[in-house]
Structure 1
Amino acid sequence: MEEKKSFISWPVLAMMSFVTVIGFDDIIYNFANQGMGVITSWVILLLLYVIPYSLMVGQLGSVFNHEGGGLTSWVRGTSGDRLGYFTAWTYWAASIPYVVDTANAVVVGFGWVINGNDSLEEQLSNSMFALLTFVIFLIFIFLQRHFKKSLEVLSTLGGGAMFIMAILFVVMTFTSLFMPNGHIETQPMNFQTILPKFNLHYLTTIGLLIYAINGAELVAPFVIRMKKPKRDFPKAMIMLTVMTIFLTVFGSFSLGVFFNAHNLPNNLKMNGSYYAFQRLGEFYHLGNTLMYIFAITQIIYMCALLAVLLDAMTRMLISDTGKKYMPQALTKLNEDGLPINGYILTTALSAFILLLGVFLPEMNDIFNWLLNLNGIISPGVTCWIFYAFIKIRQDTQKFPSDYVFIKNDRFAVFVGMWCLIITAVATIFGILPQDAPYGSSLFWHELIINIVGIVVLIGLGFVMPILAKRERLKKGEI
């Protein structure tokens, strides 16, 4: 009876995955990129990519259950310590633009709470926006010691509240269409409208779509806690896909009700969530009430997420293989068990990323560029998942599993290659700027800082083992 209490049911696992995979902002960002055509993109991606991706994660979690099922342990288990370290490094490097982007979102959220509108762009210079972002970043570095546990709880509550707000938006939008004065801003609304335009711009936006829906690997360790993983895990992932399709498809359609998809605001990525709840509130004669509720929810969630991320990403980097391939100064813990020098490295590289963006023309350009940088690096890290899956299916005798995705090894490897190629292509095309006219000075500026940012963040991963080796040579350890 005691064992049964620890089992996780498939609906619960589906809900846990749902919270880590998709959010309202993800819908806004991709709607800004593709308009109503994103509806078709969501359906194709979820059916041909998310389902196999989630089920592969399930098998990897089952194979490496003794190591907790983390991405680093998957690669280390299939390809050795050195590649395991580099996976940890790229995962950490991908987190740098993410935490900076999160700190940016906190600044924007406070702007809406204080002003009740989008006037923050007019009030702040680029340098002041970057400085405030950095100050928030530093505050949460210092808060790690005292508030980590409470902030983890807040991030969970905030995440749940964000999903409730997203579903509330969809429900209230559809209800508004049956009320007097209810209408759809995007016209005409027909089948042609929801078809994406398959061109170069479209290819540059796929990375942000993948960035929006990755995260299923975070629930991989729970596969072994299911009573019948072979039968129930696929059910959980199908439920996850159905819920995600509902939120992305109907959420994107709902945005088309309040925004003309053929003429979207230039700053939709930065302010779109607030505009959406502001317009919904106006329709229901609630003024800015819904916008303020969303803004406060957003700030609480983003602040808690920032604190948890800063701690988790730094600890992951210095653990396990990191101690072998990184200088001892970076892996050293203080008397409270905190990796202070690791935090300093995180802070320094975050400042570097902010400095790269500060010379862009407008505050909106900084926000968009940082977001798009996530759409390059994050899918790049996701490639490791498919690499590890291919490796375990090439040698199933060595990597037995309670749960198996696709019994035929050759077909399983083919599906793994399919997902790997899509993700790699999305990563490469994501390097091209999405929000600047092709060939313009802004386009070349963003392209250069994209390349510089990637080279520095990933390149340092090659430098660290060299420094660690020199350090061990001086001490006579090798």
Structure 2
Amino acid sequence: MDNLENRKHYISWPVLALMAFVTVIGFDDLIYNFKNQGMGVITSWILMLFLYVIPYSLMVGQLGSVFNKEGGGLSSWIRGTNGEFLGYFTAWTYWAASIPYVVDTANSVVVGLGWAINGSGKFQDDMSNSQFALWTLLIFVVFIMVQSRFKRSLELLSSIGGIAMFGMTVLFVVMAISSLGMGGHIATQPMNLGAIIPKFDLKYLTTVGLLIYAVNGCELIAPFVTKMKKPRREFPKSMLMLVVMTAFLTIFGSFSLGIFFDAHHLPHDLKMNGSYYAFQALGQQYHVGNLFMYLFAWTEVIYLAALLAVLLDAMTRMLISDTGQKYMPRFLRKKNRAGLPINGYLLTCFLSGFILFLGIFLPEMNDVFNWLLNLNGIISPGVTCWIFYAFMRVRKNPERYPSEYVFIKNNKLAWTVGFWALMVTAVATIFGIAPQDVAEFSSVWWHELIINVVAIVVLIGLGALLPLITKREEKYGLAFSRLQWILMLLVVVITVVLGVYLGSAKLADRNLLVIGDAVIGIALVCLLGWRRPK
């Protein structure tokens, strides 16, 4: 009887593969990268699968097995290999990377609602950037309130919605290819071997980060590795199944997009509206009007809305609880009567508003959407670097980190593979800072480059400041007085405003603005060093 009870808790390798599949790839990921690389993205997907996704997922499996008692989270991997502070900083960067993601998700909810209600992109076409930001912030406030009451229902809804989204994606691929047998034609011409070979230039390098962003997330299934009956033998099977499913979706999905879109002349708003255009075209091909588009739009809205609510809660709780008392200021750990870290939610809303503000002065709403998406292609791969760094540390000292599942028995070879993945991800992160979807070295290009840097510095830099604030709390009982908080907030606001204006300023004005920003930055440092609050 005991053996039968234990078997009930094992996860089979096909189930684990499906769990990983839901976290790794989606229809929107196909659209985004098709816009960046056209049909050449097919070759990129093949290279990514064999040179990146396979080793990445297998490394995650070993890390999850090594640190199974700590839940298998990314911060626990770094904490276990590099100490408490770096573990905290990893938790912070993982959380900071979630900020652009949830903002992008909220934007997608707004876009999806427009299509689901109007059946077209008219809703967002008639909207100004400030209205777009206002709607997004409104969605944040609503879902922060909703998640505290319906959290469990929303978690279930996001899981069901995620599976439904993949079902819609598979449906699109199958029906798009089947349409060719019904007299359909391929829009991308010529469709030959040369069409699927990308041009490996500087522009290509700036788009690799978004490819990595599309396929990462496998670390979320790491805690389940030790719940398999025979991880050493079954986990590689799960990852092989994951790669096969991902290969089918990415390769045939990109080919299917080439059936309906001319890869040489793509709509400028493909990243924002491409998913709806695709299902609209599918419906026209099968003479059912907008049926498929409406099905996809409502599936997208329901899934993203539930996901947003869960993310807003989970990421804040993870940060506050995982970092503990040593590095997280007391005012951020404060909870209300319902046990919710209310100031943590306020920080999430504040930084989300900050990200929205950075993009509000871009020319069009489509530019805002694309910039936010591309910002994810910078920050998310940057955080993924921690995974490979932790793996390298484990394989450098294998006797200290025993594991039931081991990826590559030879430690030197395994370390080299980890180093390869780290370098690829780091290079993609650095090149991803260069703006996409706009003319190179235009005023908008410079604007996006500067706000990319400002966003990264603020999101990551704040994580380095919080331990200093915590030390002041321990020393003085109160980190800063009300006057000090007001002055620092004022300095930060002025710095951000100047940074945003810097992006749109004429070249002659930029040197002066850079000097002004530097002076204000020094003032902020001086304020942080201000002695005992009165």
Q: Into which bin does the TM-score normalised by the smaller protein fall?
A: over 0.9
Matches for 1:59-458 after TM superposition, within 5 Å = 59-180=62-183, 182-458=184-460
Between the aligned partners of 1:415 and 1:448, the Cα distance in structure 2 is: 34
CA distance in 2, matches of 1:406, 1:382: 20
Distance 2:150 2:86 in 1: 34
How far apart, CA to CA, are the structure 2 residues paired with 1:435 and 1:468? 41
Q: Please list every run of 5 or more consecutive structure 1 residues that lacks an aligned counterpart in the other structure.
A: none
TM-score by length of 2: 0.88
CA deviation vs aligned residue, 1:196-237 (integer Å, no higher than 9, x gap): 110111000000000000011000011101111111101100
**1:405-450 deviation line (CA, Å, top 9, x unaligned):** 0000000000000000000000000000011111111100000000
**Identity percentage over the alignment?**
70
The SS at the match of 1:465 is helix
Question: In the alignment, residue 337 of structure 2 is paired with which amino acid?
Answer: E
Deviations 1:27-68 (A, max 9, x none): 000000000000000000010100000000000000000011
Does the Cα contact within 8 Å between 1:38 and 1:196 map onto a contact in 2? Answer: yes
Rounded to whole Å, the distance in 2 between the matches of 1:323 and 1:19 is 34
| Offset at residue 334 of structure 1 (A) | 1.5
Aligned to 2:21, which of 18, 21, 24? 18
Q: How far apart in 2 are the matches of 1:172 and 1:375?
A: 30
* Higher RCO (C-alpha 8 Å, min separation 6): 1
The residue matched to 1:193 in structure 2 has which SS?
helix
Preserved CA contact (<8 Å) 1:82 1:321: no
Any stretches of 5+ residues in structure 2 without a counterpart? 480-534
Moved more, 74-83 or 323-332: 323-332
TM-score by length of 1: 0.99
Question: SS at the partner of 1:13?
Answer: helix
Offset of 1:331 from its aligned partner?
1.1
- For these two proteins, the number of residue pairs brought into alignment is 476
Q: Per-residue CA shift, 1:163-186, capped at 9, x if unaligned?
A: 000000000001100003x11000
d(CA) in 2 for partners of 1:128, 1:434? 24
Runs of 4+ more than 6 Å apart: none
CA-atom RMSD, angstroms?
A: 1.0
Q: Note the C-alpha offset of 1:322.
A: 4.0
How far is the alpha carbon of 1:382 from its aligned partner?
Answer: 0.2
In 1, Cα distance between the equivalents of 2:88 and 2:232?
Answer: 31
Answer whether contact 2:147 2:154 (CA < 8 A) is retained. Answer: no
Are 1:95 and 1:313, in contact at CA under 8 Å, matched by a contact in 2? yes
Q: Secondary structure at the match of 2:194?
A: coil
- In the alignment, residue 33 of structure 1 is paired with which amino acid? N
Q: Are 2:49 and 1:46 aligned?
A: yes
- Kept in 1, the 8 Å contact 2:472–2:478? The answer is no
| 1:117-150 residue CA offsets vs partner (Å, 9 max, x unmatched) | 1112331011001100110011111112211111
One-letter code aligned to 1:455 = V
Q: Distance in 2 between matches of 1:4 and 1:103?
A: 41
How far 1:476 sits from its partner (Å)? 10
